[in-house]
Amino acid sequence: SAGVFLVGLGSIASAWGFQLIGGYVPCSMCLAQRVPYYVGLPLALVAFLAARRGWAGLSRLVLAAIALLFVYGAGLGIWQAGAEWGFWLGPNDCGGGAPVAASASALLQQLDHTRVVNCSVASLRIFGLSFAGWNVLVSAALVLASAAAAWLPARTR
Within 10 angstroms of residue 80's Cβ, the number of other Cβ atoms is 28
pLDDT for the residue 126: 76
pLDDT for the residue 120: 76
CA distance 102 to 82: 38
pLDDT for the residue 102: 66
- Which is it for the CA torsion 130, 69, 17, 111, positive or negative? positive
Specify the pTM.
0.76
Q: Which amino acid is at 98?
A: A
pLDDT for the residue 100: 55
pLDDT for the residue 119: 74
Within 10 angstroms of residue 57's Cβ, the number of other Cβ atoms is 9
Q: Which residues of the chain have pLDDT under 70?
A: 93-102, 107-117, 153-157
